[in-house]
Structure 1
Amino acid sequence: MPEISLFFGIRITIYYNDYNPPHIHAEYAGQKALIDIQNASVLKGFLPGRQLKIVLAWCVLYQDELMQNWELVKEGKEPNPVPPMRKE
């Protein structure tokens, strides 16, 4: 499960040979959620409200890169790092 990004204490990973729909795994303070890449929505699990909003916004910003990574891991290749969310 390669880590593709880390920001504000939120760890984002993507798994090889994972199932559809395309999704990422987000973890914060022991809480975990599966996030649908295409819909920027929670498939399963829980993150605190503020962290969930950050992850969903990040997912929308980097949807193309996340989908490219999904295709890479489906082919057994290493995913690319995705830039972290930054404070503005």
Structure 2
Amino acid sequence: MPTISMFYGMLILMFYRDNRQHNLPHIHVRYQGSEAVVSIPDGQFLQGTLPPKQTKLLLAWIALHEEELMIDWALAVEGQEPFRIPPLQ
């Protein structure tokens, strides 16, 4: 489960071959004991929650890096190492 980015206390992860349970391109986010699964194309929460401030930051980051996230998703589904993506600054 590679960490593809980290910012403002959030870890952004993408699991290898993780297309069975949610069947959508998504990321896993960990923040201070909270965990969430978020769809890449539309930023919808598929599972879990984050505090409102972190949700806004995360959705802004997804919007900025959607193309890179989709490339990483394709790699991860094939069992390959996804690239790291720059943090939100």
Bin of the TM-score, shorter chain as denominator length? over 0.9
Give 1:40 shift. 1.4
Give 5+ residue unaligned stretches, structure 2.
none
1:4 aligns with 2:4: yes
| Structural RMSD (CA) | 0.6
1:31 aligns with 2:34: yes
TM-score, normalized by length of structure 1? 0.95
Give 1:41 shift. 1.6
Map 1:1-88 onto structure 2 (within 5 A): 1-19=1-19, 20-86=23-89
Instruction: Name the % identity.
Output: 45
CA contact (8 A) 1:41 1:56 kept: no
SS at match of 1:70: helix
Work out the number of aligned pairs and report it: 86
Which 4+ runs in 1 deviate beyond 3 A? none
Distance 2:24 2:79 in 1: 17
Partner amino acid, structure 1, of 2:33: G
Give 5+ residue unaligned stretches, structure 1.
none
